[in-house]
C-alpha cells in the first residue's frame, strides 16, 4: 500500500504498520489512520503521519529525551509514549506537550492522544529545558 503525503511524498507501508486512532487526535478527530515515519534528517524526532489527509503530519519525540523521569508517571507495558513537538524557527521557543501525550499500544496498534490529569504538566514545556546534571556541559 502507499499514500502520498505532502511532507514526505509517496510512503510505502504494510497494513500491520497502520496505527488506528479511533478518536483521532484532539482537534483533528476526522483522521483515524496513521503511520509512524522515521526520517533520517529529523532524528530524534519521528513523525505521526495521517494516511487520510496528505497535509497532516506531527513531529513526535520520546519525552525522556527532555524529561528523563516522565515515563515513570505513566509507563504501561507494551505501550509507547510520545509527545507532540511544536517546533519554531527560533529553537528556544520550541516546545513539547507533556500534558497530552500520544500513547500507542504496540500489540493492538491502537493509538490515543490522552489528557493527563496532572495539571502541573505543561502543554508548552520548553524543548531545551534540561535536567541540572546536563547543564554543566553546555
Sketch the per residue contact string, 1 through 40, with another protein: x for CB under 8 A, - otherwise: ---------------------xx-xxxx------------
The CB-of-23 to another protein minimum distance in angstroms stands at 5
Contact stretch for another protein (CB under 8 A) within 9-17, 74-82, 103-111, 127-135: 127-135
| Residue 120 touching another protein (CB under 8 A) | no
- The 10 Å CB-count burial string (b at 16+, else e) for 112-125 is bbeeeeeeebeeeb
Query: With contact defined as beta carbons under 8 Å apart, do 119 and 95 qualify?
Result: no
CA nearest to 25, candidates 75, 127, 97:
97
Looking from the CA of 17 toward its CB, the CA atoms found within 13 Å total 15
Cell of 58: 506531527
Provide the binding-site residues for another protein, judged by CB under 8 A.
22-23, 25-28, 41-45, 55-59, 65, 84-89, 91, 94-95, 97, 99-100, 113, 115, 123-124, 127-128, 130, 134, 136-138
Amino acid at each position: 500500500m502507499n499514500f502520498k503525503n505532502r511532507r514526505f511524498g509517496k510512503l510505502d507501508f504494510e497494513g500491520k504498520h497502520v496505527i488506528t486512532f479511533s478518536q483521532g487526535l484532539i482537534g483533528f478527530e476526522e483522521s483515524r489512520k496513521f503511520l509512524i515515519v522515521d526520517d533520517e534528517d529529523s532524528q530524534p524526532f519521528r513523525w505521526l503521519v495521517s494516511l487520510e489527509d496528505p497535509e497532516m503530519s506531527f513531529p513526535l519525540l520520546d519525552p525522556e529525551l527532555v524529561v528523563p523521569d516522565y515515563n515513570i508517571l505513566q509507563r504501561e507495558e507494551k505501550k509507547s509514549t510520545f509527545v507532540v513537538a511544536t517546533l519554531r524557527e527560533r529553537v528556544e521557543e520550541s516546545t513539547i506537550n507533556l500534558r497530552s501525550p500520544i500513547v500507542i499500544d504496540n500489540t493492538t496498534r491502537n493509538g490515543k492522544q490522552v489528557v493527563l490529569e496532572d495539571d502541573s504538566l505543561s502543554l508548552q514545556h520548553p524543548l531545551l529545558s534540561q535536567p541540572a546534571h546536563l547543564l554543566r556541559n553546555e
